[in-house]
Structure 1
Amino acid sequence: MNIVVFGANGPTGRQVTAQALAEGHTVTAVTRRPEQFPAGDARLRVAGADVFDPAAVSRAVAGQDAVVSTLGVPYGRKPVTVYSAGVTAISRAMTEHGVRRLVCVSSAVLFRVAAPGETFFFRKVVEPAIARTVGRTVYEDMRRMEETVRDGDHRWTVVRPAGLFDADAVSAYQVATSRLPGRFTSRADLGAVLLREAVDDRHVRAFVDVRTTQGVPGILDVIRKEAFGGRG
């Protein structure tokens, strides 16, 4: 299968790329910094492109069977448009080239309901503080991205992970179309779900939660690293 991964040089994008190559798929890894992407696999093509460049996006999408978007930016005060602008360019390119399958990443925060069994403090203080202050511009643009995807006519799936952290391997993760209990998702598990959705069409036109249940870190460790160190 031919799969194009946007945001491929981010930690989640690298997970999707590596797992797809390990399964024998052909991958086009799209990144603004192709010189920084590890090459060496005959089935890997690294494409230098910016999602704000429609012509470059079109070239990357041509000839693909599925598109995976792992685009992401750090939290900050400035307005964010990379999610919505990126998926708009990707969707137009998919229509142009007749590509139907689209899988992209947003956040479990966009379920707008608390995780089952969550503590009062996390539900009423911690998560709202992140969503409405430090992460506000990111989540606003994620919401715009989701609206664009939902209103399109492609075979789409939006995966909404919780707080992201790094792990060495894919675990026995949980997947559902409603918010799951737990606070964290490993990037290895997220990459696995993105790949499975792209390849197997498991949850077409649905919003999907994924949750890691083994070896999860402490909340302060994740907030300290992820809230100010970037997403994706």
Structure 2
Amino acid sequence: MHLAVFGANGPTGRLVVLQALAAGHRVTAVTRKPDHYPIRDRKLVVLAADVTDVDGVGAVLDTQPEAVISTYGVPFSRKPITVYSAGITHILGAMVSSHVERLVCVTSTTLSTEKPPPGASLFGTKVLEPLLRNVLGRTLYDDMERMESLVRASTVNWTIVRPGGLFNLSEPTDDYEISMRRLPGNRVTSRADLAEALILEATTPRHPRSVIEIITRSSTPSPGSFFREAFGKS
């Protein structure tokens, strides 16, 4: 299958590309600096594009991928953030123009504010999550919500994947859970597990036009790793 991966040079995007190639898929990796892209493979094409550049995104979709995986992101900032909503607007428009139907994109369980997860602590639901959502990451999560709204309203066959706090593992754990409902337990997700789930959703759609959570069960990274991640220091 031919997959286009936006955000291919990010820590999650690289794992998506590596795992997809290992599974025998053709991959178009989209990055702003293709000359510095570290992965090489006969089934890999690396294209230069920024999701905020409508023409560049259109050129990627002109290659006719069978599915799009979106993993692009930015660190927390006090300044307004628009890259999520602007980027997905360009991707969705180009998908419609090029007749590409399948989209899988990444947001965060922090947006799951409709109700707390089963067994959640009072500290987590009343202190930690509001601090993350409404103070430290307010501008980022506001734009993620705009992105989700645009995806939900689109005509493509989409799946929104919400991981917990991301941490780095090189290989999938085979011990993660996916659900359309809120999941109990630790709110953490390994990037390798997330990458595997994104590829599976893109190639064998299991949750069309749905929002799903993914939580890793077998690892518990340090809380400090999430703050380094959030502020672009990982």
Which TM class, normalised by the smaller chain length? over 0.9
Native 8 Å contact 1:75 1:230 kept in 2:
no
How many Å separate the matches in 1 of 2:177 and 2:107?
A: 17
Indicate the residue corresponding to 1:196 in structure 2: 200
10-19 or 34-43: bigger deviation: 34-43
68-77 or 29-38: bigger deviation: 29-38
How many Å separate the matches in 1 of 2:137 and 2:159?
A: 23
Indicate the residue corresponding to 2:107 in structure 1: 106
Matches within 5 A, 1:82-161: 82-112=83-113, 113-161=115-163
Q: TM-score, normalised by structure 2?
A: 0.95
| TM-fit CA distance, 1:15 | 1.0
Give the match's secondary structure for 2:145. Answer: helix
| TM-fit CA distance, 1:168 | 2.5
Are positions 1:26 and 2:30 aligned together?
Answer: no
Are positions 1:226 and 2:229 aligned together?
Answer: yes
| TM-fit CA distance, 1:55 | 1.2
Give the match's secondary structure for 1:185. Answer: strand
Native 8 Å contact 1:4 1:30 kept in 2:
yes
| TM-fit CA distance, 1:125 | 0.6
| TM-fit CA distance, 1:116 | 1.8
How many Å separate the matches in 1 of 2:107 and 2:27?
A: 22
Indicate the residue corresponding to 2:39 in structure 1: 39
**Which digits, 9 at most, give the CA deviation of each residue in 1:65-96, with x for residues without a partner?**
00000010000101111111111100010011
Native 8 Å contact 2:166 2:226 kept in 1:
no
**Which AA in structure 1 matches 2:210?**
A
**Which AA in structure 2 matches 1:208?**
I
Name the CA shift for 1:35/1:46 in 2 (closer, same or farther; >3 Å): same
**Which digits, 9 at most, give the CA deviation of each residue in 1:189-222, with x for residues without a partner?**
110111110000110000010000012213x223
Indicate the residue corresponding to 1:6 in structure 2: 6
Choose from 175, 178, 188 the match for 1:175: 178
User: Which stretches in structure 2 are left out of the alignment for 5+ residues?
Assistant: none
Indicate the residue corresponding to 1:211 in structure 2: 215
**Which AA in structure 2 matches 1:96?**
S
Give the match's secondary structure for 1:78. Answer: coil
How many Å separate the matches in 2 of 1:142 and 1:99?
A: 22
How many Å separate the matches in 2 of 1:224 and 1:161?
A: 16
| TM-fit CA distance, 1:230 | 6.2
Native 8 Å contact 2:163 2:214 kept in 1:
yes
Give the match's secondary structure for 1:152. Answer: coil
Matches within 5 A, 1:59-74: 59-62=59-62, 63-74=64-75
| TM-fit CA distance, 1:147 | 0.5
| TM-fit CA distance, 1:38 | 1.4
The percent of aligned pairs where both chains have the same amino acid is 48
52-61 or 17-26: bigger deviation: 52-61
Give the match's secondary structure for 2:231. Answer: helix
Q: TM-score, normalised by structure 1?
A: 0.96
**Which AA in structure 2 matches 1:87?**
I
